[in-house]
């Protein structure tokens, strides 16, 4: 039986994955919230603190004053911490058993690495940190005894379909595995005429047909960079060559991914598109707990369809696959350029189809380091961001929102 009173730090608790994590905890009183963190949303973080009474709350510098007033006025016992180093502190505290890494983007890197270096059960939603540091993150977990449990629904599905036994993801007798197939909904622009893509708006891009998510990952889903990042994530997590990973468009988002075996068997995981399912699995593995998700009714479900992705429509998927083949620092540069380009798209500075052009231009200007240290990755991340911003200003900027 699982231990009671497991202490969890939820990094990014005010986001989509963070809120879903708290919803799973509502169903499972054996988990205690040790720390909650948010970047700017002081009001929601405060409401979460009132409900879950964590030992610590961490807030970004800009929202600290507002949050402090709310906590003082309420007399809440939760201790307030501010800024990046505090995220690392609550991810590595000896009092913590489980860390949910649900900050979006490279901002989650240090705290995710801290959880991996300090023997925690690391629930990895923040795919960007694995994309950036790949082998380094896995090595840190192996050395400290941390368990990396993938929360991204596709990787969680693959994890469920692999013959992993014992008590660690590092245990690997992957005998007989031919390939894994990542499914992708295709996002809101799967059937949009190609000539209309240049003028789609951020609101249209964020209207995902199946999943309700934060704005950055929603745009990534619309460009299919999300699947590109997940392609890289799969190679690192499961020690796969790019030739062992396939992508299939599956608009219904019911089959979350699958594993092909040498004997012709294909094992897939099916569930309603609800992040509470992989979160519950990661929290309790190898046991099963209630997630609160609706029961899947296959008879009431529209037919399940599968098709090959169109790399002309989705150049970002191709860029992700190419970075996976290069490894080294290539995925980190791809990720940095993508983060800057997506932000520029969301603020109206550039068009949708310019996202891939910016990434491709940055990639061609920054040479790939084969075995980069963390310091080199962080330096290349900075370089790629600076270059992306310069390119946006000089070559792509529309003026709106700039
Ligand atoms: P979101 O935008 O809804 O939430 C992001 C969270 O990170 C918020 O709590 C925010 O306060 C915090 N944050 C943002 N910038 C920060 C910064 N600079 N410093 C500290 N904290 C910061 O994002 P989301 O959709 O919940 O996604 C979170 C992560 O999970 C992403 O890496 C995403 O790719 C991954 N993921 C999300 C989903 C999903 O369904 N939403 C599915 C799979 C993977
Ligand atoms: Mg996913």
The pocket of ion ligand 2, defined by CB under 5 A, consists of: 152-154
Q: What is the CATH number of the domain that holds 353?
A: 1.10.1740.10
Query: What pLDDT, on the 0 to 100 scale, is given for residue 212?
Result: 87
Residue 399's pLDDT band, with cuts at 50, 70 and 90, is low
Strand partners, 267: 259
Strand partners, 147: 121
Distance spanning both ends of the chain, measured CA to CA: 55
Pair (118, 177) in one structural domain: no
pLDDT in tens, 304-357: 999 999 999 999 999 999 999 999 999 999 999 999 999 999 999 999 999 999
| Ligand 1 atom with the shortest distance to the CA of 216 | 2
Query: What pLDDT, on the 0 to 100 scale, is given for residue 402?
Result: 40
pLDDT in tens, 207-255: 988 888 999 999 999 999 999 999 999 999 999 999 999 999 999 999 9
Cβ-Cβ contacts under 8 Å for 231 (sequence gap 6 or more): 182, 242, 245, 247, 317, 320, 321, 324
pLDDT in tens, 118-133: 999 999 999 999 999 9
Residue 14 lies in a domain: yes
Residue 129 lies in a domain: yes
Q: How far is CA 152 from the centre of its chain?
A: 6
Query: What pLDDT, on the 0 to 100 scale, is given for residue 293?
Result: 98
Instruction: Evaluate: CB of 112 within 6 angstroms of ligand 1.
Output: no
Contact 177, 261 (CB under 8 A): yes
Among 46, 128, 214, 277, say which to mutate for ligand 1: greatest number of ligand atoms within 8 Å of CB.
Answer: 214
Residue 156 lies in a domain: no
Q: Supply the range of the domain harboring residue 144.
A: 6-151
| Ligand 1 atom with the shortest distance to the CA of 213 | 41
User: Above 70 in pLDDT, residue 172?
Assistant: no
Token digits for 63? 């929202």
Residue 79 lies in a domain: yes
Strands 245-249 and 177-184: parallel
Pair (104, 77) in one structural domain: yes
Instruction: Evaluate: CB of 125 within 6 angstroms of ligand 1.
Output: yes
Token digits for 373? 């240290």
Cβ-Cβ contacts under 8 Å for 396 (sequence gap 6 or more): 344, 349, 350, 351, 354, 357, 358
Instruction: Evaluate: CB of 38 within 6 angstroms of ligand 1.
Output: yes
Q: 3-class DSSP state for residue 137?
A: helix
Contact 106, 117 (CB under 8 A): no
Query: What pLDDT, on the 0 to 100 scale, is given for residue 272?
Result: 97
Instruction: Tell me how many domains the chain contains.
Output: 3
Q: What is the CATH number of the domain that holds 99?
A: 3.40.50.720
* Residue 235 to residue 255: CA distance in whole angstroms: 20
């Amino acid at each position: 039986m699982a231990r009671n009173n497991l202490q969890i730090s939820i990094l990014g608790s005010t986001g989509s994955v963070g809120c879903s994590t708290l919803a799973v905890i509502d169903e499972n009183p054996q988990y205690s919230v040790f720390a909650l963190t948010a970047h700017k949303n002081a009001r929601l973080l405060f409401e979460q603190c009132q409900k879950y009474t964590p030992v610590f709350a961490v807030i970004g510098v800009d929202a600290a004053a507002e949050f402090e007033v709310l906590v003082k006025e309420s007399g809440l016992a939760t201790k307030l911490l501010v800024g990046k180093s505090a995220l690392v502190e609550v991810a590595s505290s000896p009092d913590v058993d489980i860390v949910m890494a649900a900050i979006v983007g490279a901002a989650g890197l240090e705290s995710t690495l801290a959880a991996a270096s300090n023997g925690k059960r690391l629930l990895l939603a923040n795919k960007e940190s694995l994309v950036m540091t790949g082998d380094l993150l896995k090595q840190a977990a192996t050395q400290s005894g941390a368990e990396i449990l993938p929360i991204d629904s596709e990787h969680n599905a693959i994890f469920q379909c692999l013959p992993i036994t014992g008590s660690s993801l590092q245990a690997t007798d992957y005998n007989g595995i031919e390939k894994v197939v990542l499914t992708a909904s295709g996002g809101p622009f799967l059937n949009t005429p190609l000539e209309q893509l240049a003028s789609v708006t951020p609101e249209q891009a964020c209207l995902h047909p199946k999943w309700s998510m934060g704005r950055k990952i929603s745009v990534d889903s619309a460009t299919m960079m999300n699947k590109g990042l997940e392609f890289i994530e799969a190679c690192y997590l499961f020690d796969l060559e790019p030739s062992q990973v396939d992508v299939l468009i599956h608009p219904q988002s019911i089959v979350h991914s699958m594993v092909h075996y040498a004997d012709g068997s294909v094992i897939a995981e099916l569930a309603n598109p609800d992040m509470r399912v992989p979160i519950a699995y990661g929290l309790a593995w190898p046991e099963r707990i209630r997630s609160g998700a609706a029961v899947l009714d296959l008879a009431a479900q529209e037919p399940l369809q599968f098709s090959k992705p169109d790399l002309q429509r989705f150049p970002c998927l191709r860029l992700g696959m190419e970075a996976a083949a290069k490894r080294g620092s290539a995925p980190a540069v791809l990720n940095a350029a993508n983060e800057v380009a997506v932000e520029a798209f969301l603020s109206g500075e550039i068009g949708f189809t310019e996202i891939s052009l910016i990434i491709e231009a940055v990639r061609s200007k920054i040479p790939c380091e084969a075995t980069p240290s963390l310091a080199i990755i962080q330096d290349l991340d900075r370089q790629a961001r600076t270059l992306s911003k310069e390119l946006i200003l000089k070559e792509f900027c529309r003026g709106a929102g700039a």
